[in-house]
Structures are given as structure tokens and as C-alpha cells.
Amino acid sequence: METPLVIVVTGANRGIGRAICAALAQQYPNPLILYAASRTGASLDLPNLAIPPTVSIRPAQVSLTDQASISAPSERIRNENKSCVVLINNAGLYYFQENITMAQCQETLDVNYRGTLNICQAFLPIMRKGGRIVNISSQSGQLKYFHPRLRARFLSPNLNLSKLDDLAEEYIRSADHYTATASGWPPLAYFTSKAALNSVTRILARENTKLLINCCCPGWVGTPLGAQAGQPPKSVEQGARIPLRLAIGEIEQISGRYWANDSVASVGYGKVQDW
Ligand SMILES: NC(=O)c1ccc[n+]([C@@H]2O[C@H](COP(=O)([O-])OP(=O)(O)OC[C@H]3O[C@@H](n4cnc5c(N)ncnc54)[C@H](OP(=O)(O)O)[C@@H]3O)[C@@H](O)[C@H]2O)c1
């Protein structure tokens, strides 16, 4: 049998991540080892799904605030002399209220931005040439929510990981002093975390030209996270469409870009958008 390719999905236990795993298990054209990573490390529960014998689904334990667990899956794959063809960074959290505690604000940045960057960095050395990284972002990360002065810093061609970290620290300091919105930051930590994730995508794509690294908004999707803002119009299967396209579909060698549909309700497969 052909050597199986390795795909890793974080936040695989529920929501969009679980739908991505279900689709990959059913549609992936080659023999596949699918690492379905979750905070508990439990096996992925996919009842009623006939998994083809060419697909092996393995659990992995990843908590994005714990560096040891962030490093473990890539070390395991390296120790098995394998490489990774696709990493889908789906795990994320959203405190959907303005008056969150500083701990929640810090956690939002730690998970959606810093932890996701850390797992990208753990995987970069074991990515297969031509492999893909998909970061699940959000329309909330669009720079229209930021003061033009901050927008220019996010969009600067000179932005690197160190300067991005400075921006994130600056946001945390102003949130701590209750001056974030007065200083031009958006009202919710989630927005800043996803703008930072979009920047991570752009910077890593520039630095890793043999890979395709993109981010996307899945739309407004019916999960506990999405339902905080009302009645989401999209199913998890529809929410998985853009991430799956960026992972295994036709994207014309595009890298470093943000993909979305024109509306968060649209069930299309996404296109490159400014953010
Ligand atoms: N739903 C939407 O409308 C929508 C819109 C835009 C973007 N997104 C993005 O889509 C992605 C998936 O969201 P979803 O709607 O499917 O949300 P969800 O159902 O709440 O699932 C979130 C997933 O992230 C995991 N997670 C949270 N914190 C984590 C941590 N510290 N370490 C590791 N895993 C962690 C959760 O694990 P546990 O089960 O252990 O908590 C869960 O698997 C997120 O990045 C979200 O920001 C969603």
C-alpha cells in the first residue's frame, strides 16, 4: 500500500473541527493518517460514518496553552519518520462580551494567536514540501475594526513576529488599563487575536515559500461559539468548506492570504479577500 500521508486537525472533538475531520476521513483520496487533536486527547467520535480502510484516525492531546502538549504531536510524527502534509489550526475560543477579565483577555490571545503560532512553529520543520497550513480565523479580525494607525502597523511589509508580539503586548497593556478602545483597538479581545493570527499567516507564508499557508473565516456557523452571537445560518459541514478547500482543494499556489465568502451566511468555498 502507498505510504499514508499525515494530516493534523486541532479542536477536532466538536464543531467545525469535527466536521473537517469527518469530511477528510470520507473524501481524502490517498491513504491517510488523521491526527484528531483535542484538549482531552480522547478518540474522535464519528458514529454512523463508514471510515474507509485507507484512513487511520488517531487521537492526540493538544492544549494551546501548554507548550509540552503543543510540541508532542510533531515530535511523535518526526519519531515515526513521517512528515505532515496538512496542519489545520481550527481550535479557538471566543468570550463574546466586552467586560471580560484580564485572565480571559490574556487566554484569548494565548490560544487564538500565541498558541496557534507555537503549533505552526512546532510543525514547520516536519512539513512536507508543498504542504499546507490552514489557520481558522474570523471576519472579526478585519482591520476595519482598528484605528488606521494600528491598521498600518498590522499591514506593514516590515511586520515580523517580534513586532507582532509587541503589538499583542501593547493591546494587553491597554486592555489592562481600560484604554483599549480609546487607543483604537476593537472592543473584544477575540478581534485582536484573529487579526494577529492573520498576520502570523502572512509572515509565516513569506518566510516559508515551499509551503502554502493561508487563513480563513468559515462564516457564521452553528456551534456553541457561533451561537453566542445569535442564530447562525450555516451548518458545521458548510463551515468546513473553506478550510477544506485551503487544506486539500484547488488554491492556485496562493499563500499568505485570508479567504472568506462575501457574506458570513454564504455557503460558498471562499475567495481571497482583503482583511
Ligand atoms: N462558529 C462560528 O461562527 C465561527 C466564526 C468564525 C470563526 N470561527 C472559528 O472557527 C474555529 C472553530 O470554532 P467552532 O465554532 O467550531 O467552535 P467550538 O465548537 O467552540 O469549538 C472550539 C474548539 O476549540 C477547542 N479549544 C478551545 N480552547 C482550546 C485550547 N486552549 N487548546 C486547545 N483547543 C482548544 C475546543 O476544545 P474543547 O472542546 O476542549 O473546549 C473545541 O474543540 C475557531 O477558531 C473559531 O474562532 C468560528
pLDDT in tens, 255-264: 999 999 999 9
pLDDT digits 0-9 by tens, 11-41:
999 999 999 999 999 999 999 999 999 999 9
Domain count, the chain: 1
Quick check: 95 and 108 in contact, CB under 8 A?
A: yes
The whole-number pLDDT of residue 1 equals 67
C-alpha dihedral, 146 to 158 to 104 to 14, nearest 10°: 100
Query: Given CA atoms 175, 181, 182, 183 in this order, what sign does their dihedral have?
Result: positive
CA distance 216 to 30: 25
In a domain, 168, yes or no: no
Q: Which residues pair with 160 in a beta bridge?
A: none
| Mean per-residue pLDDT of the chain | 97
Residue 234: its H or E element: none
Residue 223 CA to chain centroid, in angstroms?
16
Q: Which residues are near ligand 1 (CB < 6 Å)?
A: 11, 13-17, 38-39, 62-65, 90-94, 111, 136, 138, 217-218, 220-221, 223-226, 232
In a domain, 148, yes or no: no
pLDDT over 90 (residue 180): yes
- pLDDT average, residue stretch 229-234: 97
pLDDT-derived band at 240 (thresholds 50, 70, 90) equals very high
In a domain, 176, yes or no: no
Q: Are strands 32-38 and 55-61 parallel, antiparallel or unpaired?
A: parallel
Please report, rounded to a whole number, the percentage of residues in the chain having pLDDT higher than 70. Answer: 100
Instruction: Give the ligand 1 atom nearest the CA of 10.
Output: 34
Quick check: 222 and 232 in contact, CB under 8 A?
A: yes
In a domain, 169, yes or no: no
Residues in the chain: 275
Instruction: Give the mutation target among 20, 191, 223 for probing the ligand 1 site: most ligand atoms within 8 A of CB.
Output: 223
In a domain, 172, yes or no: no
pLDDT digits 0-9 by tens, 41-92:
999 989 889 999 999 999 999 999 999 999 999 999 999 999 999 999 999 9
In a domain, 173, yes or no: no
Q: Ligand 1 centroid to 104 CA: how many Å?
A: 15
Among 264, 260, 263, CA closest to 274: 260
Quick check: 133 and 202 in contact, CB under 8 A?
A: no
In a domain, 239, yes or no: yes
In a domain, 245, yes or no: yes
The stretches of the chain forming alpha helices (DSSP H) are: 15-27, 67-79, 102-108, 116-123, 148-155, 161-176, 189-207, 236-239, 241-248
Instruction: Give the mutation target among 20, 35, 39, 140 for probing the ligand 1 site: most ligand atoms within 8 A of CB.
Output: 39
Among 71, 114, 74, CA closest to 91: 114
The whole-number pLDDT of residue 117 equals 98
CA distance 98 to 200: 25
Q: Ligand 1 centroid to 11 CA: how many Å?
A: 6
Instruction: Give the ligand 1 atom nearest the CA of 13.
Output: 43
How buried is residue 157: exposed, middle or buried, by Cβ count under 10 Å (0-12/13-18/19+)?
Answer: exposed
Domain around 54 = 5-95+113-142+192-273
Quick check: 67 and 228 in contact, CB under 8 A?
A: no
pLDDT digits 0-9 by tens, 88-105:
999 999 999 988 999 999
Q: Are strands 55-61 and 271-273 parallel, antiparallel or unpaired?
A: unpaired
Q: Which CATH number covers residue 44? A: 3.40.50.720
